[in-house]
Amino acid sequence: MKKELNERLTQVGPGTPMGELFRRFWLPALLASELNGPDEEPVPLRILGEDLVAFRDTDGRLGVLDAHCPHRLASLSYGRNEECGLRCIYHGWKFDVDGNCVDIPSEPAASQKIRDKIKITSYPALERGGAVWIYMGPSENIPPFPEFEWARFPSDQSAAIKRFQPCNYAQALEGGIDSAHISFLHRDFPAADQSNTGPNNVHGKFASGCRNPEFSVNETDYGLQIIAKRALEDIDDVYYRVTQFMVPCFQMIPPILVEGRLKTNPTTGNVWVPIDDYNTWNWGFTSDAEALTEQQKKLLGPEGIWGDLDENYHALQNDTNRYRFDLERQRKTNFSGIQGVRNQDAAVVESMGPIVDRTKEHLGHSDSGIAMFRRLMLRLADDLAAGKEPATARNAEAFNIRSVSIILDKKEDLQDVLPKTAAGEPIAAKAAE
């Protein structure tokens, strides 16, 4: 990839082509549990290179404002949240959830008329799936909230988690849509040995036995459908894993098929939200048809697959301690020598540096989904710069999809045998209602 294209892909600040594309979509900004109650302490946050502050006003309404008071630019994160507004502690200027200046007590009566001319940047916000979401684009183009299946479940049937990553969003996201690495990075030696002899451990058998899957990538109305096909010489079955990428930063994860021939994943998704060009929030969302058990909550929490996190959602396994790499573990237990899937993912994408230099890459067939992702994102950013709004942003139903893992006979066609929704579309492309 040329240097200028890499910069175009990775730069997300205000006014950049990719930054403007991201601003056409609803993005998770913080966990609902992070945001305090009415008139409680405001919460600072940073998204797409902008410093913001979030709060609930006296009436419980969500407010997301520019973090700096427009008077002398003191931080509103220290503001007094009171009487339906956020008041700067420097000179008492006060702003409501819509960014209107409602009080300038430090000014004499003759200067009060300037109040109506002052407005701070504010962004629409709402709660879905355990997170507070914001829209940062033009107010005249606010899209409907995307119809993620996991965002429609009640709170006792859903969970959200996030993890800080010190790298650009694109390389972190590319790790999520790369299905080839599961045969290496996430390979556990005992599990692989058992899968080769155990009749029901489908995923392990194919992931360990076929390390060079055949890829096909389809562009869709939501983004990309990335299909990894694994076959073994001694059997007639084929293992397909379908990863779904939704513009600009959403992914549905294919489930691990242990028993049976088919498993859909209506509930598990990842989101990579750029903090700025050099840092990213990796979000995970999960839901279930029934209330989550305590075991499920633990697995999905910081002490589960997401690894140990501190109070700021920073991983305790990180570059400073080499992700707790252990040579004996690498020799005897797993391929990477690093414990935990999320830590393994983090180690490889974060080791590339804050922004990977893609001019030095050498891509192959296994990178088909990666190459298509880059082309798609760059094209959409270029289209927007030319005045063409992304149609996906306004197509809420396009986000109502699932990922899938399935075993087929070599003679069967994937699209023909996938279960269909009521609309007659393959379940890999659309989620059932």
Query: What is the model's pLDDT at position 255?
Result: 86
CA torsion sign for 91, 95, 99, 102 is negative
What is the arithmetic mean of pLDDT over 54-79?
98
pLDDT of amino acid 86: 98
Per-residue pLDDT, 427: 55
- Between vectors from CA 405 to CA 235 and to CA 295, what angle results, nearest 5°? 120
Q: Do 107 and 154 fall into the same domain?
A: no
Same domain, 129 and 197: no
What pTM did the predictor assign? 0.93
Q: 341: phi > 0 → left, psi -120 to 50 → alpha, else beta; which?
A: alpha
Identify the pLDDT of residue 196.
Answer: 40
pLDDT exceeds 60 at position 191: no
Q: How confident is the model at residue 429 (pLDDT cuts 50, 70, 90)?
A: low
411 vs 76: which has the higher pLDDT: 76
Q: Are residues 247 and 345 in the same domain?
A: yes
Q: Which pLDDT tens digit goes with each residue over 19-33?
A: 999 999 999 999 999
For residue 234, pLDDT beyond 50? yes
| pLDDT in the model for residue 397 | 93
Nearest alpha carbon to residue 89 among 79, 81, 99, 97: 79
Residue, of 415 and 212, whose pLDDT is higher? 212
Together in a domain, 162 and 125: no
The better pLDDT of the pair 372, 294 is held by: 372
Domain-located, residue 17: no
Number of domains in the chain: 2
**Of residues 156 and 71, which shows the higher confidence score?**
71
pLDDT of residue 138: 97
Distance of alpha carbon 175 from alpha carbon 35, whole angstroms: 30
**Do 280 and 168 belong to one domain?**
yes
Q: Is residue 5 part of a domain?
A: no
Same domain, 116 and 175: no
| Domain final position from 103, 134, 165 | 134
Cis? peptide before 248, omega within 30° of 0: yes
Kindly report the CATH number assigned to the domain that includes residue 97: 2.102.10.10
> Of the ranges 161-170, 185-194, 251-260, 405-414, which one carries the lowest mean pLDDT score?
185-194
Higher pLDDT, residue 83 or 196: 83
Written as one string, the DSSP assignment of 176-215 is HT--GGGGTTT-BHHHHHHHHH-SS-HHHHHHHH-SS-EE
pLDDT at 294 over 60: yes
Q: What is the mean pLDDT of residues 385-406?
A: 94
pLDDT band at 364 (very low <50, low <70, confident <90, very high): very high
66: Cα separation from own chain's centroid? 23
Say if residue 399's pLDDT is above 80.
Answer: yes
Whether 425 is in a domain gets the answer: no
Residue ranges making up the domain that contains 219 = 149-417
Across residues 101-108, what is the average pLDDT?
95
pLDDT score at 115? 92
How far apart CA 134 and CA 140 sit, in angstroms, is: 15
Mean pLDDT of 158-164: 92
Assess whether pLDDT exceeds 60 at residue 35: yes
Residue 198: the pLDDT is 45
What pLDDT score was predicted for residue 199?
Answer: 47
pLDDT band at 419 (very low <50, low <70, confident <90, very high): low
Is the residue at 427 inside a domain?
no
Q: Which residue, of 134, 166, 200, is where some domain finishes?
A: 134
pLDDT category, 134, cuts 50, 70, 90?
very high
Tokens of 402: 């699932």
Reply yes or no on whether the pLDDT at 433 is more than 50: no
pLDDT band at 426 (very low <50, low <70, confident <90, very high): low
| Domain stops at, among 86, 111, 134 | 134
